[in-house]
Structure 1
């Protein structure tokens, strides 16, 4: 049984998350990696590989490919072919490659807003126009406004970047919503690139993640699905991800764009990915239970603080907190002064929110809430 309450000191380890505030008493709850040790299986696999002592260029093993195939079939009843897989060092690379592999310079890329910042930067970096579609609140779920999507599509639009589960907001899209999305893409001849990196972090046990490309083999030919073990198993620093692209022409174009620019996945990333997917299921389930507890605690406590609100959400360890009632002129600075480092909502496209990463020991989360309460009480 893994101990997710156990604190791990990440200071002085060149951690992006912790070094941001290395000289300050600020709890870092911003960038999306957790403070949990990786599963024992991953750690053991890495030890074995390191003890071998040779770290040369490495191929993707048949065992890893078979494991991914089996996993997708078992979890989602999605049969994929080995040659559909394109391995890369990260999901952000996938977003940028997708932009370059579709349309042409000056064509338009659609994406939801608010959303993970690379969705907004990738089109611009690829010399494409960026067209954003609003996320709207339906009940307690943040979803992309599909009516607004259809209205925004022009002949210049060639690609839709999609995020499921959504970051931020934590929505896991339902089958009917995904089917309508596919139909819109078919009707308007759009390629759909779906970031599904948080697919294994579904917090509500009764909800099932559905890869959009698994719904229709014909429509799947216009899809690029991005997945990775990095978020679920806290191995982002090992840089391993993959795209699933059923259509050969689209896949070959995707690969051509990568050539000479995007490096191969390193051998430790591949080693960790195999140990994660093959040997770490029990650890993953234990982590989900722990994250559910953290989520439920956070929803209850945040909603007790006047001026702040957090809707129930279904997935990820990232809470999208409405702070509009606080009327802060510098939200990020206010929370940092309180001793809590959050991600400003403005980075995602909505300054009325802050994103909080609760992938940490409960004691850290409790201390963060206490600091926020104290800072607001002093504010008066």
Structure 2
């Protein structure tokens, strides 16, 4: 039995996904609910990363640490080999996560009088973080056709004129699973340059792309306009290391980096923990075989869910995403409201999925399902979904 087939009991590990369902969904007795909602995997991290952290643990001394050149080399080589993006070590700034990095960028480059542009449905922190900072959030809702999404560039340009200072791009897109084309990315760069808007590109799902699709870092095709782009990458989503907390901000412009460094110093932002640095280096240097097997497993899981729904719940529509390990499920043909659907899933199916409205009103009528788990759990999740609608 491979690591991707073995079911690991995650309960009583302070897991948000498994141990906090009662608080997230307001259910008193949640012990028998199967969680397939938050975006972390139910697989063990790559052995190379675990061994690197164990070696560091066995040393026994956990003093102040720094990001070594070898860590930066690992990131740079990964981006070159996996995404054909030539970067430099000096472009890198490290943070504890992509969401904290997003907050740092917004606080550094905008004021309360400025606006942030997003394209819903999209990852909730994109509108939550600016909102908590009293920034205006301008939305350009994407065009949706049978669960497929595209940017309305006419409305996008109109939105950019509303005192927008930062556009947050989800590349690849969560929850839609879209791998943006070079043409789309070039259009985004062109319009943001026209209105002097900084691009913050969240590329945390960049490694989780299915063949024949290929991720394109927006900074890699931006030419001289790469100076207005800050790209966030991380090993955490790729290698299931979210709790280890590590992310990288990549900015080719020296002035942009200087401002971010000043912000970090003002907030006492220190380096990564010794465990995060060890895991990051090991995963990027030696984790590719694990990732290849992961993608095969997730792709097979997705095929299974889609086939079962087509056969047994034809009113449920699911398109296989181009990226991420998340399915975006369209239940609008059932005629159920979101409240009714969630009630059925939680109380009849005993299954926890994410309601689409969490990603903005444009997501209402959809559910997000995480299938980065052993096939037996995916099978059980499908059975519970079917039972909920029976």
TM-score after normalising by structure 2: 0.93
Task: Answer yes or no: is the 8 Å Cα contact 1:114–1:135 preserved in 2.
Answer: yes
Structure 2 SS opposite 1:218: helix
* Corresponding residue for residue 348 of structure 1: 359
Asked if 1:255 is matched to 2:261, the reply is yes
Task: Give the distance between the partners of 2:101 and 2:250, measured in 1 at CA.
Answer: 10
* Corresponding residue for residue 376 of structure 2: 363
* Corresponding residue for residue 99 of structure 1: 106
Task: Give the distance between the partners of 2:233 and 2:39, measured in 1 at CA.
Answer: 15
Asked if 1:328 is matched to 2:319, the reply is no
Give the helix-richer structure, 1 or 2: 2
* Corresponding residue for residue 26 of structure 2: none
Give the alignment's Cα RMSD to 1 decimal: 1.6
* Corresponding residue for residue 163 of structure 2: 156
- Return closer, same or farther for 1:312/1:329 CA change in 2, 3 Å cut-off: closer
Q: Deviations over 1:237-259 (max 9, x none)?
A: 00000100111111111222222
Task: Give the distance between the partners of 1:339 and 1:161, measured in 2 at CA.
Answer: 35
- Return closer, same or farther for 1:334/1:106 CA change in 2, 3 Å cut-off: farther
* CA positional deviation for 1:138: 5.6
* CA positional deviation for 1:144: 2.6
* Corresponding residue for residue 272 of structure 1: 279
Range moving further from structure 2, 128-137 or 18-27: 18-27
Task: Give the distance between the partners of 1:332 and 1:275, measured in 2 at CA.
Answer: 40
Task: Answer yes or no: is the 8 Å Cα contact 1:339–1:368 preserved in 2.
Answer: no
Task: Give the distance between the partners of 1:68 and 1:220, measured in 2 at CA.
Answer: 19
Structure 1 SS opposite 2:131: helix
* Corresponding residue for residue 234 of structure 2: 228
**What pairs up with 1:84-163 in 2 under 5 angstroms?**
84-137=91-144, 141-154=148-161, 156-163=163-170
TM-score after normalising by structure 1: 0.95
Unaligned runs of 5+ in 2: 23-29
**What pairs up with 1:201-240 in 2 under 5 angstroms?**
201-203=208-210, 205-240=211-246
Task: Answer yes or no: is the 8 Å Cα contact 2:160–2:192 preserved in 1.
Answer: no
Asked if 1:339 is matched to 2:350, the reply is yes
Aligned pair count? 376
Task: Give the distance between the partners of 1:329 and 1:42, measured in 2 at CA.
Answer: 40
Task: Give the distance between the partners of 2:148 and 2:200, measured in 1 at CA.
Answer: 22
* Corresponding residue for residue 199 of structure 2: 192
* Corresponding residue for residue 15 of structure 1: 15
Task: Give the distance between the partners of 1:82 and 1:40, measured in 2 at CA.
Answer: 26
- Return closer, same or farther for 1:303/1:133 CA change in 2, 3 Å cut-off: farther
Structure 1 SS opposite 2:154: helix
Task: Answer yes or no: is the 8 Å Cα contact 2:232–2:249 preserved in 1.
Answer: yes
Q: Deviations over 1:332-351 (max 9, x none)?
A: 33211111101111111122
